[in-house]
Amino acid sequence: MLMRTDPFREFDRLTKQVFGDMPGTWSRPAAMPIDAYRAGDEFVVCFDLPGVDPAAIELDIQRNVLTVKAERRPLPSGDDVQTQVSERPLGVFSRQLFLGDTLDTEHIKADYDAGVLTVRIPVAEKARPRRIAIGTTGGEPREIEA
């Protein structure tokens, strides 16, 4: 039902091993971690986005590819602001999930609460289990689970 890809993850890991994290730079943050599970007739994906303004989150679907983009903006700056520690990754980052044909991408719902974006995707009607009536030559039809 779900495939994920991040072609730059290995490249980023190797770059950090060689050069380390350079302070003060807007390096590409690690991919946003997710949990994904099926609950009844829907597929649920939770994205960790702590410290991200809900207005800075974009959710798009195109041809069974779900894309989540988010931006974590820098701390306020000015003459009277002196940053003491800045370890949280900043900038724009995204995650793509390739959704199977068994999901109903026309009825996706999303909520953002306590730094977690929860996306709910219904399972398509054609993929849900159903009963099929079986006719017999000597009696009444009976149903079996398919």
Q: What is the pLDDT at residue 44?
A: 96
User: Does residue 109 fall inside a structural domain?
Assistant: yes
77 has pLDDT over 70? yes
Model confidence pLDDT, tens digit, residues 81-130: 888 887 777 888 889 999 988 899 999 999 999 999 999 999 887 766 77
DSSP symbol at 63? T
User: Does residue 106 fall inside a structural domain?
Assistant: yes
User: Does residue 100 fall inside a structural domain?
Assistant: yes
Segment 139-143 shows an average pLDDT of 65
By residue range, what is the domain housing residue 98?
1-11+31-76+86-125
Q: CA–CA distance from 107 to each of 33, 43, 61, 119, 128 (Å)?
A: 23, 12, 11, 11, 15
**Range 6-15, long-range pairs (CB < 8 A, 24+ positions):** 6/31, 6/95, 6/96
Q: What is the pLDDT at residue 142?
A: 65
User: Does residue 105 fall inside a structural domain?
Assistant: yes
Nearest to 117, CA basis, from 67, 76, 73, 65 = 67
As for how many domains the chain has, the answer is 1
pTM for the structure as a whole: 0.66
User: Does residue 118 fall inside a structural domain?
Assistant: yes
User: Does residue 24 fall inside a structural domain?
Assistant: no
Cα–Cα distance, 16 to 139 (Å, whole number): 72
Cα–Cα distance, 35 to 48 (Å, whole number): 9
Is residue 119 within 8 Å of residue 44, measured between CB atoms? yes
15 has pLDDT over 70? no
Q: CA–CA distance from 136 to each of 130, 140, 142 (Å)?
A: 19, 6, 8
User: Does residue 114 fall inside a structural domain?
Assistant: yes
5 has pLDDT over 60? no
Model confidence pLDDT, tens digit, residues 16-65: 656 655 554 444 445 689 999 999 899 999 999 988 999 999 999 998 89
Q: What is the pLDDT at residue 29?
A: 45
Looking at residue 95, which CATH number applies to its domain?
Answer: 2.60.40.790
User: Does residue 16 fall inside a structural domain?
Assistant: no
